[in-house]
Amino acid sequence: MQSTKNDPMEIAAKAPVPFKTPKERSDWINQYSYAKKLCEAHRTILSFLGGPSPIFEGREDEVEAVRQSLSKMRMRNCVLIGDPGVGKTEIMKKAISSLKTNDIFLNMDLASMLAGCKLVGMFEERFCNIVREVASANAKKSTRICFFIDEVHNLFRVGKSDQYGTLSGGEILKPYLAEGSIVVMGATTKEEYDKYVMADKALLRRLPPVFVDGMHDAQTAKIVESFAKGKMGPKIASYVVARSHWVHYLSNPDCALEIADRAIAKASSEGRKPNESDVDSVLAFMVVPNA
């Protein structure tokens, strides 16, 4: 496959890996050529997970729970469960960045994997090829390839057809998860986890949950203040968090960050820093009437 000048995979490959030592970062790709070849072969499907956001703070209990799951000797899989916007992906990245391991963590894009599958069985074939490659490599090398799948519940929907007798990606993965040749970490909501994982006791044993609640106000305020980069002081940041509870369809810290971003944009257009009036103004367009 020919590379392009702005190829995102090449850019990701050249970027420093945050969970490696400085010595390992310089020639990591050359030392472990398989990950490079794997990403070149499945360029639109797999990418490097990357590091956590610099503004992300707190969540130490959840991070430790994920870290313990990834440090087990058998069935190192886990699924972060929480409402949209609570920071599940950031928790996963923070846990990975603090691990003392040579494992390589790749992000699996199910949408890209499904794209172009015009015939029945094409997804199964594509998915099986990737899983077998990774399982074979993991059996031979001390450095292992691990998958992160956002919205992991989609794995149990795509590819499945009772009419044609095809399997979903989750059913294909089951034996690999049981024997530990594939490590999968995911993120989803409680409703989707109950629907697709809890209903299957064998799958539940292979994909244990780590529950994530909404973030505390004090931690959220620190994240908002860090995000604002001096454009919003601690008083306004705390006001943003207090008002964010009026938006019932979003969770913190994502909800508070959205309000802060809108308030900063409104104030910046007038050449000043945001105040409480700006926060109330943008909030009026986000609160669902009669909710």
pLDDT in tens, 249-268: 889 999 999 999 999 999 99
The pLDDT value recorded for residue 119 is 78
Peptide bond into 253 cis (omega under 30): yes
User: Which of these, 193, 189, 137, lies nearest to 170 by C-alpha position?
Assistant: 193
Q: What confidence tier does 22 reach under pLDDT thresholds 50, 70, 90? A: very low
The pLDDT value recorded for residue 83 is 92
- Phi/psi-derived region of residue 155, left when phi > 0, alpha when psi is between -120 and 50, beta in every other case: alpha
Q: In this structure, is residue 288 part of a structural domain?
A: no
* Whether residue 149 sits in one domain with residue 125: yes
Domain end among 189, 211, 233? 211
The pLDDT value recorded for residue 255 is 94
Q: Which residue has the higher pLDDT, 12 or 258?
A: 258
* Whether residue 15 sits in one domain with residue 136: yes
* Whether residue 246 sits in one domain with residue 110: no
Average the pLDDT over 280-287 and give the result.
91
* Whether residue 151 sits in one domain with residue 41: yes
The pLDDT value recorded for residue 28 is 43
Q: In this structure, is residue 2 part of a structural domain?
A: no
The pLDDT value recorded for residue 100 is 82
User: How are beta strands 104-108 and 209-211 bridged, if at all?
Assistant: unpaired
The pLDDT value recorded for residue 159 is 60
Average the pLDDT over 236-251 and give the result.
93
* Whether residue 223 sits in one domain with residue 113: no
Task: Flag whether pLDDT at 65 surpasses 90.
Answer: yes
pLDDT tens-digit readout, 27-52: 444 444 677 778 888 888 888 888 88
For residues 98-116, one letter each, b for 16 or more C-beta atoms within 10 angstroms of the residue's C-beta and e for the rest, the string is eeeebbbbbbbbbeebbee
The pLDDT value recorded for residue 30 is 46
* Number of domain units in the chain: 2
| Residue 163: CATH number of its domain | 3.40.50.300
* Whether residue 129 sits in one domain with residue 253: no
Q: 213 burial class (0-12, 13-18, 19+ CB within 10 angstroms)?
A: exposed
The pLDDT value recorded for residue 148 is 92
Going from the C-alpha of 265 to that of each of 59, 232, 258, 275, the distances in angstroms are 28, 12, 11, 12
Q: Which domain holds residue 273?
A: 217-283
Q: In this structure, is residue 74 part of a structural domain?
A: yes
**CA gap 261, 263 in Å, rounded:** 6
* Whether residue 111 sits in one domain with residue 40: yes
The pLDDT value recorded for residue 165 is 60
The pLDDT value recorded for residue 280 is 94
* Whether residue 158 sits in one domain with residue 66: yes
Q: In this structure, is residue 195 part of a structural domain?
A: yes
Q: In this structure, is residue 227 part of a structural domain?
A: yes
Domain end among 211, 244, 269? 211
Q: In this structure, is residue 1 part of a structural domain?
A: no
* Whether residue 233 sits in one domain with residue 139: no
Average the pLDDT over 117-136 and give the result.
85
**CA gap 38, 130 in Å, rounded:** 8
Average the pLDDT over 16-22 and give the result.
48
pLDDT tens-digit readout, 139-186: 887 778 899 999 898 888 776 665 556 778 888 888 898 888 899 999
The pLDDT value recorded for residue 195 is 87
Scan for tokens 């923070």, then name that residue: 94
Tokens of 149: 């799948």
Domain end among 190, 211, 232? 211
Q: In this structure, is residue 35 part of a structural domain?
A: yes
Q: Which residue has the higher pLDDT, 227 or 122?
A: 227
pLDDT tens-digit readout, 96-116: 888 888 888 999 888 888 887
* Whether residue 120 sits in one domain with residue 31: yes
Q: Which residue has the higher pLDDT, 142 or 238?
A: 238
* Whether residue 113 sits in one domain with residue 86: yes
The pLDDT value recorded for residue 33 is 62
The pLDDT value recorded for residue 215 is 87
* Whether residue 68 sits in one domain with residue 192: yes
Q: In this structure, is residue 273 part of a structural domain?
A: yes
